[in-house]
Each structure stands twice: as structure tokens, then as C-alpha cells.
Amino acid sequence: MNERARPAPTVRHRVAWACLVMLTALGASADGASLTPVQLATLRLGTYPADTAPPEFGGVTLEDQTVSLAGLRGQVVLLNFWASWCLECRPEMQAFEALHHRFASRGLAILGINAREENAAVRRYAKELGLTFPLVLDRDGKVQALYGVIGLPTTFLIGRDGRAVARAIGPREWNGAAGEAIIRSLLADPTGRTDAR
């Protein structure tokens, strides 16, 4: 990512994003949600106002690959904040691995943002669970703070058009029928939008 091309988020931008995060946490629904209310309710997902852009970030994976949200534009992005010590994260990571195998070729990009752990701990965990999707190291917690994450696991869904779609605070059954239906709906729409009305 070219850091010079995009100014750093201001305090005002971070406060606005934090307000959106809190509204989502309280279950606020908004105009232009990309999934039907029934689909969102199945996994208790909160939505964002239409055309809400998630904070841009760049990072380095466990394999020293540079990734950025901008670089994933055109794909459906599932962004998960996790840690190896988080017991509720473990089943989700295995579910994400299954989704990665099932839907990566159709345009699903899963990124696991590790919260403040050293490479060795992340590497052991990834090996133990057989994780092959990218794990981004956030040792200083900057990405976590940028997204207003205060508890783990927290997951964001981002549409193909780069718009924030939904958020889950706490674990969900992502590889169950409801989770797959949500992923399939997002993948089926080239713009990342579906009719929420």
C-alpha cells in the first residue's frame, strides 16, 4: 500500500468509525444493508449505513506477504480479529479455514488479524489448526484500534465494492447453513449489494 497516497485517519474519522461500531454492537440496522434482514438475523449480525467505507489498513502476514484492504477490492472480505489465547476464537478459525477452501476460488478473501502476539505463538497456532488463509500480525494493536475492536473474536464482512456490510462481536457459526448463505449472497452480487428491503 502506498502510504503517501492516503492520509492517516484523523481523530474525527476514528471517532466516527467508533460510533458506527457502537451502533452496530447495539444491533442498529441501517439503510442499504447488503443482506436481507432475515439473513442478518440468523447470525445476529449488525449492519452499517449505506456506503460506509471500513478503515483502510496494510499489514504483513505470517509469511511476510504485504496485504491491504485496498488490494482486496473486488473480493468479499471476511476480516476476523483473534488471538491464540481466545477459546471462542478456535472453532471460528477452523470454520474460516473450511470457508477459505470452499469459497476462495469464487472471490472470498479471509484475513485473520492477530491481536498483539509474537510470530512464534501465531505460527504454532496456525500449524496446530492447519490454517492456510492469511494471518496478519498486529503486534502493536494499531489495526485493532483502527477498527474499534474491544473484544475477541470480532468479525467484519466487506462487500466486493469495498463497503462495510456487517459485523459480529463474539463467535458465530460461520460454516453452518446460515453463514454459508450469507457468504454465497455476497459472492453472487458483483457489486457486493443485495436487496435488504
Considering only residues 31 and 47, tell me which one the structure prediction assigns the higher pLDDT.
47
Question: What cell does 189 get?
Answer: 452480487
194 part of a folded domain: no
> In this structure, is residue 109 part of a structural domain?
yes
* The predicted structure's pLDDT at residue 29: 34
Which domain does 20 fall in, by range?
8-188
Residue 34 has phi, psi (to 5 degrees) of -85, -5
115/117 Cα distance (integer angstroms)? 6
Residue 176 neighbours by CB under 8 Å, 6+ apart: none
Residue 191: its pLDDT value, please? 64
| Per-residue model confidence as pLDDT tens digits over 119-164 | 999 999 999 999 999 999 999 999 999 999 999 999 999 999 999 9
Greater confidence, 99 or 50? 99
Q: Is 103 a member of any domain?
A: yes
Question: How many C-beta atoms lie closer than 10 Å to residue 128's C-beta?
Answer: 11
Give me the pLDDT at residue 37, please: 85
Residue 11 has what pLDDT?
53
Which tens digit of pLDDT belongs to each residue from 97-124?
Answer: 999 999 999 999 999 999 999 999 999 9
Number of folded domains in the chain?
Answer: 1
Closest CA to 159 of 19, 34, 36, 2: 34
Mean pLDDT across 165-174: 96
User: Rounded to whole angstroms, how far apart are CA atoms 196 and 20?
Assistant: 19
- Residue 1 domain-assigned (yes or no): no
Tens of pLDDT, residue by residue over 60-81, are 999 999 999 999 999 999 999 9
pLDDT of residue 76: 97
DSSP characters for 62-122? TTS-EEESGGGTTSEEEEEEE-TT-TTHHHHHHHHHHHHHHHGGGTEEEEEEEES--HHHH
Instruction: Name the residue with cell 482486496.
Output: 72
Residue 193 in domain? no
CATH at 26? 3.40.30.10
pTM (two decimals): 0.80
Contact 161, 191 (CB under 8 A): yes
Task: Decide if 195 is inside a domain.
Answer: no
DSSP assignments along 113-133, one per residue: EEES--HHHHHHHHHHHT--S
Grid cell 491491504 — which residue?
68
Over residues 178-185, the mean pLDDT reads 95
Q: What is the pLDDT of residues 9-42, one digit of tens each?
A: 565 545 444 444 433 433 333 333 347 888 889 9
